[in-house]
Every structure is written in structure tokens, then in C-alpha cells.
């Protein structure tokens, strides 16, 4: 009897020690650029693998999501495409307009996709849209929760479209590789997760479950595979500027008029996957913001770094 109890306890311990099952989804390569119109009528979407069965994080972790969500991934030589069919009653979908990067705590339904492109379980790029097609993008870093460790100051150039249909709403995204950083490898494997928020239910759910009892978000991602022969693009951008001004100085014999003009250029170059070079040619220091004034009442000096 004692032996049976011991074996039973050992089996429970081994079961509880097993890592949580990590979901995987395969991206499907397309030979044609996808039109971002919120209508999933391209045949490639039908051939792509589904990511579904979202798990609730809040308010009650572990339950199946109340509404069905189906996400698919396509890619070509220039961009990665995401579609999400989010089933719901269209009359109940919250579609309030908000500022870009400002959907937090607003009365809106949200869908988001995040990619851990280096698969290091630490850093990721997040792209989200509301049911009103208001975009947000951010960098996720470290083992933080969804609303902490999120840098909304990071902005990328990408496209999205939302379409309200009879049984829910559809999201279609195009994220150019220019907006991402990833290693130069023949076969890629990224961490990935998909998020949905239904505001009227205060329900948040993820494709690969995210436990509120575990520290971190990116470390609880699923896996996106099937990405092959991706070429990191040349990351080079130019931002020229021209400034002009006019001044007049009164003198005893009249006035002196001066026309002031200047020009230059900001250059940003991605040296590799980890470093970006920022340069300014002929900087106009007259347009540079000065350091913020700080009232220092401490015994320590203020240093600007």
C-alpha cells in the first residue's frame, strides 16, 4: 500500500514538473502580395494553418475564450501578413475612436500580434488594432506583464484594415520586414502570440496561454515556424530639412536686414541586426531642444546622459 502511494505521489510530481505545452503554428509562403482590405478572399488564406482556441488570462485564467478567434500567417519576400477572424455579435463590438498608441483602458475591442523574432524569450515587437482600426505598436522587453515593460515610443510603418461582418470582425495586417529585426538564417523560428480583448466582458485572452501567476509575457509565447529564406532588408533612411528666417536690426541710419537659411539631413542606417547608426549632416542647433529645467533640491548633481 505504501509503495502504491509513493508511486502515485511521484507521478503527480513528475506531471506538475512538466513544462506547459507550447502551441505552434506554421506560416504559409505566398507568391502574390496580399491586398489589405479586411476581406479574406485570397486563396492563400484558405491554405494557411489556423491558430485558434484562445485561453483566458483575465478575469478567470485557464478558461476557453468566450468567443472564437482564428488567426493565420502568410509571408512573402517583403512582408509578413496576419489575418484574424474574431467571431462576435457585431452589435456588441466596441469601436470607440482613440489616439494612436492610446487604446489602453478605453472602451474598445482589441486584437494584437507579437513577434519574438530572435526567439530569445525576452524581446518582441507588438502590433495591435482596435475594432475601429486604430493602430498601436510597441517594443516588449524583459519578463514583464502586458502593460509593463512596453515601449509605446517605438513606432513602425505598417498597414492594417478592419472589416465588421455579420458574425464578428476581421483584421488584416501587413508588416514589412523593414519594421522588424531578425537574424539572417535560411530557416527562421520566431516566438509569437496573439491577443484579444473583449471590452464589454473585460476579457483578455491569448492564443498561447499567459498565466498571471508567472512573471513575464514574452517567455510565455508560442512558436511561429515555416519561415524560410527571409532576407533582412537594407535599413537606410534620409530625412532632409531646410530652415529659413528673416531678421531686421534698427540702426541710427536705418535698419539691417538679414536672411538666414540652413539645410541638412538626418541619416539612419541599420548596420546589422543589433546596431543602428544615426547621423546628422550640417545640424541646425538653433532647432535643437534644450535640456529640461529641473529644480534640484537634493545634495547630488543632475547629470544628463
Q: Is residue 267 within 8 Å of residue 234, measured between CB atoms?
A: no
* Structure confidence by residue, pLDDT tens digits, 238-285: 778 787 777 787 877 777 777 777 778 777 776 666 667 777 777 655
Report all structural domains of the chain as residue ranges with CATH numbers, in order of start: 20-228 (2.60.40.1190), 236-287 (no CATH)
Q: What is the pLDDT of residue 74?
A: 97
| Model confidence band, residue 24 (pLDDT cutoffs 50, 70, 90) | very high
**pLDDT tens for each residue of 29-63:** 999 889 999 999 999 999 999 999 999 999 999 99
Say whether the peptide bond before residue 59 is cis (omega within 30 degrees of 0). yes
Is the pLDDT higher at 11 or at 26? 26
Which residues, in sequence order, are CB contacts of 145 under 8 Å at separation 6+? 212, 216, 217
Q: Residues 95, 108: contact at Cβ < 8 Å?
A: yes
The pair phi, psi for residue 4, each rounded to 5°, is -65, -40
Which pTM was predicted? Answer: 0.75
Look over the chain and give the mean of its residue pLDDT values, rounded to a whole number.
84
pLDDT score of 63: 96
Amino acid at each position: 500500500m505504501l509503495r502504491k502511494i509513493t508511486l502515485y505521489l511521484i507521478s503527480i510530481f513528475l506531471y506538475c514538473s512538466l513544462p506547459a505545452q507550447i502551441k505552434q503554428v506554421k506560416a504559409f509562403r505566398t507568391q502574390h502580395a496580399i491586398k489589405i482590405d479586411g476581406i479574406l478572399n485570397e486563396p492563400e488564406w484558405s491554405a494557411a494553418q489556423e491558430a485558434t482556441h484562445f485561453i483566458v488570462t483575465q478575469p478567470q485564467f485557464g478558461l476557453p475564450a468566450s468567443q472564437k478567434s482564428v488567426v493565420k500567417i502568410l509571408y512573402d519576400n517583403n512582408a509578413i501578413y496576419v489575418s484574424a477572424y474574431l467571431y462576435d455579435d457585431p452589435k456588441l463590438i466596441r469601436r470607440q475612436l482613440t489616439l494612436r498608441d492610446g487604446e489602453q483602458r478605453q472602451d474598445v475591442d482589441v486584437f494584437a500580434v507579437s513577434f519574438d523574432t530572435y526567439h530569445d524569450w525576452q524581446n518582441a515587437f507588438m502590433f495591435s488594432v482596435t475594432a475601429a482600426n486604430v493602430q498601436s505598436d510597441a517594443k516588449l522587453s524583459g519578463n514583464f506583464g502586458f502593460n509593463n515593460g512596453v515601449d509605446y515610443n517605438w513606432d513602425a510603418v505598417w498597414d492594417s484594415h478592419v472589416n465588421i461582418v455579420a458574425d464578428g470582425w476581421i483584421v488584416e495586417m501587413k508588416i514589412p520586414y523593414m519594421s522588424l529585426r531578425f537574424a539572417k538564417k535560411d530557416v527562421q523560428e520566431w516566438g509569437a502570440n496573439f491577443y484579444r480583448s473583449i471590452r464589454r466582458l473585460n476579457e483578455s485572452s491569448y492564443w498561447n496561454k499567459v498565466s498571471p501567476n508567472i512573471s513575464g509575457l514574452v517567455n510565455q509565447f508560442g512558436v511561429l515556424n515555416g519561415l524560410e529564406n527571409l532576407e533582412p532588408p537594407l535599413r537606410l533612411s534620409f530625412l532632409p530639412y531646410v530652415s529659413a528666417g528673416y531678421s531686421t536690426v534698427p540702426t541710427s541710419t536705418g535698419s539691417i536686414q538679414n536672411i538666414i537659411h540652413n539645410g541638412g539631413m538626418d541619416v539612419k542606417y541599420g548596420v546589422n541586426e543589433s546596431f543602428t547608426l544615426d547621423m546628422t549632416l550640417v545640424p541646425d542647433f538653433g532647432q535643437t531642444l534644450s535640456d529640461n529645467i529641473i529644480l534640484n533640491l537634493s545634495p547630488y548633481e543632475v547629470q544628463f546622459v
